Amino acid sequence: MDPGTIEHEALGFPPEDQAKLAQKLLLSLDSLSEDESDQVWPVEADRRTRELDRGDVQPIAAEEVRKKARNLLRLSISFTRRLKESTLKPSHTTRLNVRG
């Protein structure tokens, strides 16, 4: 089955099933073996350090990151509950404000 066919089929799923499928697909992209992770993360840490040293990016305080993560989690839980309660219809669009 090609990706276009899968996409067409998935778009016909109920919203809750679409959300579950999307989550599984996204999580599968993050799956690295321990060896891959051991190779990738030092390179990523060096890249981020260089960006900070050059001033390309600004550091964010840990408390600010935690605050944003909590807000995202609350939004995700709320969105999932609304899907389960079928208060969101496929034709509706919801804009999530993740700024903390």
Domain boundaries, the chain: 1-31
The pair of structure tokens assigned to 53 is: 């040293």
- Global pTM? 0.42
Please determine, for residue 22, whether its predicted confidence score (pLDDT) is greater than 80: yes
| Distance between CA atoms of residues 34 and 28, nearest Å | 15
Amino acid at 34: E
66-98 confidence digits (pLDDT tens): 999 999 988 888 888 887 776 555 555 555 555
Q: What is the pLDDT of residue 97?
A: 57
